Amino acid sequence: MTRRLATALAAPALALATVLATATAADAAPADKAQVLAGWTQTSASSHNLWAAARANQSAWAAYGFNWSTDYCSTSPDNPFGFPFSASCARHDFGYRNYKAMGTFGANKARLDNAFHEDLKRVCARYSGATKNACDSTAWTYYQAVKAFG
């Protein structure tokens, strides 16, 4: 009797396990998630532009499960002295949050901080003279802060 009961319960249990395994595999992020994340977090302007385009169309990337949340420049002003740093801070947050979720933050932090600095310098390149110098100085300060405390 016990053997018949065990056999009778084994088939539904196996079927349930198969369904759960299939659902988990279907819900998993695509295999190239790390590669896509790396492409969007490099120091180049093209990397920034790819990330910005993806951010504008987040639903197209929903299967990847990226964390797009941001607090922008945290407790620092998002637009210090009128310099628009908020998008640079948002990309920096994106890199930090997603690499932390993948468990590879330590190996990528320095590059993320350098990409942040390059993004800030691209903002500052829009200016000239004393305004550019002030922007560059502010960018350097923001970079040093995330490098030390980020």
Report pTM. 0.81
Q: Where are the domains of the chain?
A: 1-29, 31-149
| pLDDT tens digits for range 42-83 | 999 999 999 999 999 999 999 999 999 999 999 999 999 999
Distance CA 94, CA 90 (A): 6
Supply 131's token pair: 């305004």
Q: Long-range contacts for 95-104 (Cβ within 8 Å, ≥24 apart)?
A: 95/37, 95/40, 95/41, 96/150, 97/67, 97/69, 98/37, 98/66, 98/67, 99/37, 99/41, 101/67, 102/33, 102/34, 102/37, 104/34
pLDDT 10s digits, 77-113: 999 999 999 999 999 999 999 999 999 999 999 999 9
Verify whether residue 92 is a known catalytic residue: yes
Backbone angles phi, psi at 70, to 5 degrees: -155, 150
Q: Which of 137, 56, 125 is closest to 91 using CA atoms?
A: 56
Q: Is the dihedral of CA 15, 21, 26, 32 positive or negative?
A: negative
Could you tell me which CATH number the domain at 31-149 has? Answer: 1.20.90.10
Determine the pLDDT at residue 27. 58
Q: Which of 48, 91, 92, 117 is catalytic?
A: 92
